[in-house]
Structure 1
Amino acid sequence: MTDPNIDFSMVLASAVHDMKNSLGMLLNSLDELRGEHEQSLAGSDKFNMLQYEAERMHNDLVQLLGIYRLGENNLSAHIDEHFVPDFLEEHLARHIPLLQGLGLKYSIAADDINGFFDEDLLTGVLNNTINNAIRYTKSQIRLIAREEDGYLVLGVEDDGQGYPESMQHTGTLSFKSLDFNTGSTSLGLFFASSVAKLHTEGECTGSIKLHNGGSLGGGVFEIWLP
């Protein structure tokens, strides 16, 4: 018999939060292990896969918590000013040990600009997008930032095969429009789109854009913030 006093969604959110924190500690330990045993682990496919999958799970849990808070009308953007190149360098640094372990090149092409956004929310979007690019790239990824048409554009490019036509998208996503049969990418895109929509300026609202090309010729993910 179901206890009517149990809020199962709250129980799940609490469990997800605990798992997210545990995975964060695991990721820190993996970074320390890589540093302590750099010679033996640098080219270990098993260790690289372990770190990649742990990062992917951590990102999924961050997104699940964000979407839960969105459903509870408890997710809002706390806008502060940030120097964009420093922001990108800081968040790329988290992935450098894995990138180096996989033999992938990485770079940043960012204008010297300031942006106004929620650092925590954009961190979740960037970490997931970088992790996704690591999965599909051939040899390198690049973080980009520029101003265009009154928007701050932050993006991640890779030199993989690019997004299939069905995934190329401009604007915002609704939860009902997602096809979860295609894998976990849909969750990340919905989270990124939701974060973009929380950034507004006057009548302008943030959005995401997925297309192919860019400077590396593969997939390009962009988040546009007014």
Structure 2
Amino acid sequence: MSNDNISFPQVLAASVQDMKSSLSMLLSSLDVITDLQENLDDTQKQTHATLHYEAARLNTEIFQLQLFHKLSKNDLVPQIDEHYLIDILQEQLANCDSLLQIRGVEVELECDEDFNWYFDSELIASLIYKTLVNCARYSQGRIKLSAIEDDGQLLISISDDGNGYPQFMLEQARLEKLPEQFNSTQLDFFCSRRVAELHTKQSDCGSLSIANGGAYGGGLFQVRLP
């Protein structure tokens, strides 16, 4: 095998698209079950909720693999264009709708319908989707999703009413770069932060932060773009 000139990153990149297609079919099938949920007993509902969450989480992990592959090759160039924030936010809420329903989570959306900004819609949408999936898992039943202009920057915030981020995650979020031995949490935050930082305007670049508090006293995830 060593003489076949096969690169693992190339194999991984070639396989990801098929994985995404299969996962899309799985999520669609789970959505059908969601429509029939009133006919399920409590154990079946809980099993369905777990399956849906894990499938949604796997969806975000596959996208992150693609993202990290491009970052490792310095091949990730944001496709900046003008977008209405309400469209981006509503689209990601729709993508998470079944999971939010299963979890019994209510979402408060705060965004002016005429508010627009320049950014890479696919990259930023992926951050929103991934955070909504996590919030659906850890919230007690309430999430607030907002997009406003703050001090000349776009500020996207996602708050929940869960127990907040554990201390180790808050500490890892302060790391400037990945350590030689890193875990999945550190990799996740590193990739997400790089997505924000790739959005630049003159001498300013985007940023990402996590904290506790927010609208409902739980976790607070924020992305700022110049």
Q: TM-score under structure 1 normalisation?
A: 0.90
The Cα of 1:105 is off from its aligned counterpart by 1.5
Say whether the 8 Å CA contact 2:213–2:219 is kept in structure 1.
yes
CA deviation digits over 1:72-125, x for unaligned, max 9? Answer: 122110011111122211111111221111112112122441111111111211
- Name the counterpart of 2:129: 127
Query: Which stretches in structure 1 are left out of the alignment for 5+ residues?
Result: none
* Counterpart amino acid of residue 191 in structure 1: C
Report how far residue 179 of structure 1 moved: 4.1
Q: Which residue in 1 is equivalent to 2:199?
A: 199
What's the counterpart of residue 39 of structure 2? 40
- Tell which deviates more after alignment, 84-93 or 37-46: 37-46
Taking the aligned partners of 2:41 and 2:97, their CA distance within structure 1 comes to: 12
Distance 1:67 1:129 in 2: 18
**Contact 2:103/2:141 (8 A) holds in 1:** no
- Runs of 5+ unmatched residues, structure 2: none
Contact 1:63-1:187 at 8 Å conserved across structures: no
| Number of residue pairs matched by the alignment | 222
Q: Distance in 1 between matches of 2:148 and 2:175?
A: 20
**Separation of aligned partners in 1, 2:59 and 2:50:** 14
Aligned residues of 1:206 and 1:224 also touching (Cα < 8 A): yes
Over the residues paired in the alignment, what is the CA RMSD in angstroms? 2.1
2:8 is matched with 8
Contact map agreement 2:153 2:225 (CA 8 A) in 1: yes
The residue that corresponds to 2:186 in the other structure is 186
**Who is 2:30 aligned against?**
30
Q: Secondary structure at the match of 1:68?
A: helix
Shift of 1:46: 0.5
Separation in structure 1 between the aligned mates of residue 108 and residue 176 of structure 2, nearest angstrom = 29
Change in CA separation of 1:38 and 1:69 when aligned onto 2, cut-off 3 Å: same
Q: What whole-Å deviation, never above 9, does each CA across 1:182-226 have from its counterpart, x for those lacking one?
A: xx4333312211110110000000010111111111100001111
Q: What secondary structure, in the 3-state scheme, does the structure 1 residue paired with 2:162 have? A: coil
CA distance in 2 between partners of 1:89 and 1:41 (Å): 28
Distance 2:176 2:65 in 1: 16
Cα offsets for 1:34-80 (capped at 9, x unmatched): 22x24224960101110110010110010011110111122110011
Supply the distance in 1 between the matched residues of 2:200 and 2:178 (Cα, whole angstroms): 20
Contact 1:48 1:101 in 2 (8 A): yes
1:72 matched to 2:54? The reply is: no
